A and B are shown apart, each in its own frame.
Chain A
Amino acid sequence: MKNVIEVKKLVKKYGKLSAVNNISFVVQKGEVFGLLGENGAGKTTTLEVIEGLRKPTSGKISVLGHDIKHGINSIKQKIGVQLQSSAYYSFLTLNEILSLFCSFYPTCVKPKDLLEMVDLTDKANAFVNNLSGGQRQRFSIIASLVNDPEIVFLDEPTTGLDPLARRNLWGIISKIKAQKKTIILTTHYMEEAEVLCDHVAIMEKGKILAIDETHKLIEKARNPYVIKFIAKNINKQIFKKISSYGEMSNVFGKEKLFELRLKKQGDVNHALAYVQKLNPENLIVGSATLEDVFIELTGRTILED
C-alpha cells in the first residue's frame, strides 16, 4: 500500500508549550486513519499542520508526495478539509456555498451530486442557519468534497451530535471511503474510532502513546476478554473461584452487575462454567474495547466537556 501522508518527528511549539511533541506516523492510501485523544491532546494541531494552516516548529511532512514546505499549493488542490466547529457564510444558500468553493478549484463535483449524497437535496436553497446540527455537519463534510479530493480531513465530525445523527454520519464516512478516498479524522469517541478507523493513533499531551491497526490495538489490551453478568445470588465461594481467572469488578456501584476481565481465551470457558452456576441474568461474553486500551494507556477515561 502506498503512503499518502508521512509525518516524521513533527514538533509544534507555542512559546514553551509543546502542542505536538515529536510524533511520527504514516497514513496509507484508501484507509481511515483516526487520531484519538482528549481535547488538548494535539489532534487538531497535528491536522492543521498537515493541512498547511500552521507551520511546524520542526519535522518533515509530505502529503501525496509533496513536501508541505514547498508543495502546499499543489497539496491544497487535492485535499478536502472540514474544520472543527466551523460555520459557513450566513447569507448564501447551500448550493451557492458549494458553487463558490467549487470555483476555487480546477476540477469540481456538481453541488447537486454532493447534496444528494447526504440527503440534503431539498435544502439546496436553504441557508446554513436553517439547518439542524446534524444537517450542518453533513453539509460541512460535503463542502470538503467539492474538489473531489484524494485525502479528506475531518476534525471531530461527530462532536455534539445525538446518537442517531452520529450513526448517520458514520454511514457518510463509509460512503466516502468507498469512493477510494483516504480519510484522516480526529475524535474523542472511542466506539467511533473502533467502528470507523483502520488505523488509530492514541494521542496524549502532544505525544502518540500507541499506534496500530485498530483490532491489533484492542488485542494489545492487558485483558482482551470480558464477561459481564448480573448475579442474583451472590455465592462467596463461587465468586472466589471466578475471580481467580481474571480481574473481577463491580460495575459503577450497580451491586449485582459484575465484570470479569481475562487475559487468556482458554480461561474464558473455565470462568464461564462457574458463572453459569450462579444462574446469571444478562450474561455477555465479549472483547475489550478501544476504551479499555485507552484507559490502560492513559490511566483515565475521556471526560466530555
Chain B
Amino acid sequence: MFWRLFTTDIKMLFRNKQSLFWAFMFPVLFTIIFGFFFGENTSVGSVALVNDSSTQLAQNLDKSISDSTLFRVDKNIAENDIKNEIKKSKISAGIVIPEGFGNLSPDSPKSVKVIVDPGNAQANSVITGYVQSYLTQASFQIQGAKPVFNVDEEKTSDRTLSYFDFVLAGILGLALMNSSVIGISVSMSRYREDKILKRITTTPLKTWKFIVAEILSRLIINVLQIGVVLSIGYFFFDAHIYGSIFVLLPVAMVGAILFQLLGFVVASLSKTTDAAQGMATAITIPMMFLAGVFFPIDTLPKWLYSVVQYLPLAPLLRIIRNVALEAGSPFDNPINALIVGGWIVVALTFSILKFRLSDE
C-alpha cells in the first residue's frame, strides 16, 4: 500500500513540469549564471596592456601582469582606443607603461597609467592594487630598502574559497526552499481543490501515510537536486567543496523537511491554488535575498540583520556553508541547529492542527 503510493508520488513529480522546473531548472540556471560570472578563474575581465618601454623593470611588470590569473591581458589595443573599449565593455581597464619607464634618469616617466571605469569598483581595486603593490616592491628593491611595516594576513580558513562557492551553497538552500515550499503548497491546494484529498479520505488509507509518502518522494527529488547543483558547480565551474556529502545530505534533508512543513502551513492557510502560489512566492522570494543566498546578510543594517538572521533559510544556509565549505559539523554553532529545530516544531504543530485533507 505504502510502497505503491510512494513510487506513484515519485512518478507524478517527474511528470509534473512545474515541480521539475522549481526543483531542477531554477537552481541549475542560477548555478550556471553565477558560475559564468564568478566560477572557474576569479578573473575581473580583460585588461588592455600597452608597454612602450623596453627597460628591465617594464619587461618584468609586463610579464607579471601577463602571467596573472586575475585578469586576461589583451596587448592588441592602442592607447587611444582604451577608453572607447572600456565604454563598450570590451575590457575592464587599461594599463599603459610609458616609453622610458624604468629608466632611473630624472626626466624619464615615473608612473604607470591605469585607466579604469569608475563604475566597475571590483576591477578597479584589483587592477590598481596589483600594479601599485608591484611598483612598491620594485621601488623598495631599487632603494635597497625593506618595508618597515607590514600587514600580516590571517585567514579564517586556509582553504581557497571564492564568491562562487559562497553562492553555490546558497543555491542549494534556495533549491530546497523553492521546490519544497512551492511544490507542497501548490500541489496540496490543487489536490484539495480537485477534491483528490477528499476522495483519498473515503478510502481506508491513513492520512499520515499519505503525507509521509508525499514528503519522502520529494526528499528523493531533493537528493537529486543537490547532486545536480553540486556536480555542475564542481565539474564545470571548479567550486571548492570541502565537506563530506554524507554530512551535507542529512543537513539538506532536515532543511527540506522544514520547507515542506512550511508548504503545508501555506496550504492550510490558503483556500485556492492561486492563493497558495501567491503566498508561497511571497515567502520564498524575500527570503531568498534576506536569508543570504547571494550576499552575506551581516552587511545589512543591524536592526534588519537582527531580524532576518532568524528566518528559516538563514540558519540553514549558515549550517550548509559551514559543512560544505569549511568541512565543519552541523552543530559547530548550536544556535543555528536550534533555530532550524524550532521552526520545524512550529511548522509541524501548525500543520497538524490546521492542515486537513477534507473540509472537516
Contact = CB atoms under 8 A, between A and B. Distances in A.
A104 B204 contact: yes
B199 A86 contact: yes
B15 A91 contact: yes
Interface in B1-31: 1, 4-5, 8, 11-12, 15-16
Interface stretch (B140-148, B190-198, B262-270, B343-351): B190-198
A53 to B, nearest CB: 5
Contacts of B1: 103-104
A104 B205 contact: yes
Interface residues of B, number: 21
A89 B4 contact: no
Interface stretch (A75-83, A111-119, A254-262, A288-296): A75-83
B202 A52 contact: yes
Given A51-B202, A53-B358, A87 B196 contact: yes
B194 A54 contact: no
B158 interface: no
B154 interface: no
Contacts, number: 62
Which applies to chain A's interface (DSSP): helix, strand, loop or mixed? Answer: loop
* Among B199, B201, B360: residue with most chain A CB under 10 A: B199
Interface stretch (A25-33, A94-102, A238-246): A94-102
Contact of B199 (A81, A99, A147): A81
Contacts of A54: 359-360
A58 interface: no
A101 B359 contact: no
Nearest to A85: B195
A103 B5 CA distance: 8
Given A86-B195, A88-B196, A89-B12, 20 more contacts: A52-B201, A53-B198, A53-B202, A54-B359, A76-B203, A81-B199, A81-B202, A83-B195, A83-B199, A87-B195, A88-B194, A89-B196, A91-B11, A91-B16, A92-B12, A96-B8, A96-B11, A101-B203, A103-B4, A104-B203
Interface of A: 51-55, 73, 76-77, 79, 81, 83, 85-89, 91-92, 96, 99-101, 103-105, 147
Interface of B: 1, 4-5, 8, 11-12, 15-16, 194-196, 198-199, 201-205, 358-360
